[in-house]
Structure 1
């Protein structure tokens, strides 16, 4: 089948989808935008012209419209991705999502390979852009003269979204708070101070984190999120490496833990009471959701520090500090633009078959980051050892 006959099916046209949808339309791709509430899709494409259609998302309509070789982009809630991926298997179509690969998605790997289909996930912001930066850091370190598995390695990857102008609550919600609340109820696992640690209550592991951002040095709070350990292999950390710290986590504005104390107290006493958690979610949404025209901010930092005999020999950070605009939120850009790039990579035949996360090829990553920068989100690179040398020479 000719590449130009393939159609992108973008499923879910909420605010987080808009920049990616607009980009694919501007690139003159054939696009079907699926929404149960078609008014969202019409709003997302208002004023645009191109080869796209807005479609009411019903199971029958989608099944009839998806053809072999098409590319389905699922921006649905996480629990709906697997059923969409199974539909792609049935229709011989490729699949894209920004969400983590869970066991159900991973189980589709061999079937996707057998059909020569690409099912790529974890290509949003976090997970997504954070993976890209981690792979670049690791490629840089491995090719440096300082590379040695027996060095002591300290890896930290933190990401967070919050209001551009801090409020007393130190946070605002773009969508239902229930996902954030459930994440806080989930244990985290990381390597801290040379040991594998399980953190039952993430808020008990909050610590200050100073970031040297392009225009300022700023204090944040950080805490581990989910299970960091599987990503050691994904990023290329060997089993024989000496690792003092390996943590992927969440970044929050300074003062967040104090502002959220009552929320933590409620979470701690809810046990598995979904109704009580849902009620808390509703209250938080009413009190702390973004208002129309209110700007957001996204900060991401991926940092690798390497020491030998107690002396730092290699230390680099890749970071971004992005703000929303009147047109799009920073979060929407940084989720949906990478998703659109992953879909295009499938169209170009750049990705292997099977279930996979964000690419690790340095050339592809740099090309993606260039496009992300063109949409206003610059990646900043800091060589701490070089900075220290320059300061010492002054």
Structure 2
């Protein structure tokens, strides 16, 4: 019997775990699910005889190492900063590793040692990053095979709320880690535009609010996602003039979130005074409020907009002007307070459906003619638990794990992203069988 260790039983794990368990009987697998919450594990494994619970503190090496040691492959859905601990264990015990998170500097430093050990540490194997890499490289390689020159590549992805479940002025609900929404864009962004590198500071990330058209959905806004420049070599597009990876949101969300940033409400460094705390008191403190005008008028003036403008209404919808005193506040910083607010306001109801949208836009020259290719996917979830986000993050990892264990994919060596045809071709083919596919148009 072969053993798979799944580290993490959070929001994005349900499809991954159920996929592995569905293949366990015929493959004689044991799937160990490790998490700090026994309840979270039980919800995902549903009393399967092929699953084993491991309620552990993943930061505790004595609890963690024996699980890694007995595994044939490790799949990690832990928060990004915890992957490195599992990675060290995998190197020590010679185990292949799959994660959905970006390659961290610490993980990248392990590349030579991982190659020397003959191991695969496949990172960025979820949705974004993950499916975006696989479909992008499939497109790029197919264009390059006909000796065409790619001049522009733009890739957009967003986890949104499905239109039928969209009932707030922000047009957004949480389908993945809420903390990541509060900290989105904190590192700024870089991308290539018409041959020049563009460096966008955090304070301006949501300010541009440029739009793209998505078939069947209309216009969506986007903001640049992290450092696109680091993927230029990995995507192997030497003649490209424009290269951008971006995140999709509704236009009003980007305008509203820029206001939240401008007001300092995402600050992770300040300290909150919990005595007599209310959201209005917090907002007054962040904006140097003085008497003589209403808080709404003061905020409107601070943001250089009219009081009745939609942005003030969006802030009001979050309860930011509420004077009611909050007891037992569990928050150390403004970012913590904001997260508390959003968890209540943007939680998906049990029957709510989320929606994942991914779109690639490629310009290339073929025999002197400019061609525009658009490749798009729109996928809706079933409900809060079986979300499109969980499906698109979890299934790529599960499929890769199965194919490696069954010798359908020879695991490439090193700390990698899934840009190899030997990986993305079979994984994308199976994803299509699960309803995750793209529609292409060429002009």
Give deviations 1:289-309, integer Å, cap 9, x for gaps. 212221100000112112589
Q: Distance in 2 between matches of 1:308 and 1:272?
A: 51
User: What is residue 42 of structure 2 aligned with on the other side?
Assistant: 42
| Residues 1:176 and 1:344: Cα distance change in structure 2 (over 3 Å) | closer
Number of the residue aligned with 1:352: 412
Partner of 1:54: 53
Conserved? CA contact 1:72–1:96, under 8 Å:
yes
Q: 1:175 to 1:68 in 2, by over 3 A?
A: closer
State the Cα distance separating 1:286 from its structure 2 match.
Answer: 1.6
Other structure's SS at 1:171 match: coil
Any stretches of 5+ residues in structure 1 without a counterpart? 386-394
| Structure 2 equivalent of residue 159 of structure 1 | 157
Note if contact 2:4-2:31 (Cα within 8 Å) is conserved in structure 1: yes
Provide the aligned length of Structure 1 versus Structure 2. Answer: 367
Say whether 1:330 aligns with 2:328: no
Alignment of 1:369 with 2:428, yes or no, is yes
| TM, length-normalised to structure 1 | 0.87
> What is the match of residue 86 of structure 2?
84
2:399 to 330, 341, 350: 341
Q: Which residue of 2 aligns with 1:388?
A: none
Pick from 188, 193, 211 the counterpart of residue 208 of structure 1.
Answer: 211
Cα deviation, 1:255-293, whole Å, max 9, x if unaligned, reads 222333432223478374371112112211121121222
| Distance (whole Å) between structure 2 residues aligned to residue 275 and residue 159 of structure 1 | 29
Report deviation, 1:185.
Answer: 2.3
Separation (CA, whole Å) in 2 of partners of 1:312 and 1:218: 28
TM-score (norm 2): 0.78
Shift of 1:380: 1.4
Equivalent position of 1:318 in the other structure = 375
Q: Tell whether the 8 Å contact from 2:206 to 2:255 is kept in structure 1 after alignment.
A: no
Q: Does 2:98 align with 1:99?
A: no
Separation in 1 of the partners of 2:228 and 2:258? 25
Alignment partner, residue 130 of structure 1: 132
CA RMSD in angstroms, aligned pairs only: 2.2
Distance 1:53 1:271, change over 3 A: closer
Aligned to 2:441: 382
* Alpha-carbon shift at residue 176 of structure 1 (Å): 4.7
2:10 aligned with 1:14: yes
Q: Are the counterparts in 1 of residues 11 and 177 from structure 2 also a CA contact under 8 Å?
A: no
Q: Partners of 2:176 and 2:423 in 1: how far apart?
A: 31
Q: Secondary structure at the match of 1:303?
A: strand
Deviation string 1:162-220 (CA, Å, 9 cap, x unpaired) is 11133311211234533222222221000123311101121123201112x3xx26111
Partner residue of 2:246? Answer: 249
Whole-angstrom CA distance in 1 between matches of 2:170 and 2:261 = 13
- Give the Å deviation of 1:223: 1.4
Task: Please say if residues 185 and 267 of structure 1, whose CA atoms lie closer than 8 Å, have aligned partners that are also in contact.
Answer: no
Tell me the equivalent position of 1:389.
Answer: none
**1: distance between equivalents of 2:212 and 2:224?**
12
Q: Give the stretch that moved more between structures: 156-165 or 276-285.
A: 276-285
Rounded to whole Å, the distance in 2 between the matches of 1:164 and 1:292 is 14
Q: What is aligned with 2:256?
A: 259
Structure-1 separation of matches of 2:36 and 2:50: 21
Aligned to 1:183: 184
- 5+ residue gaps, structure 2, are 271-331
Q: Which runs of 4+ in 1 moved over 6 A?
A: none
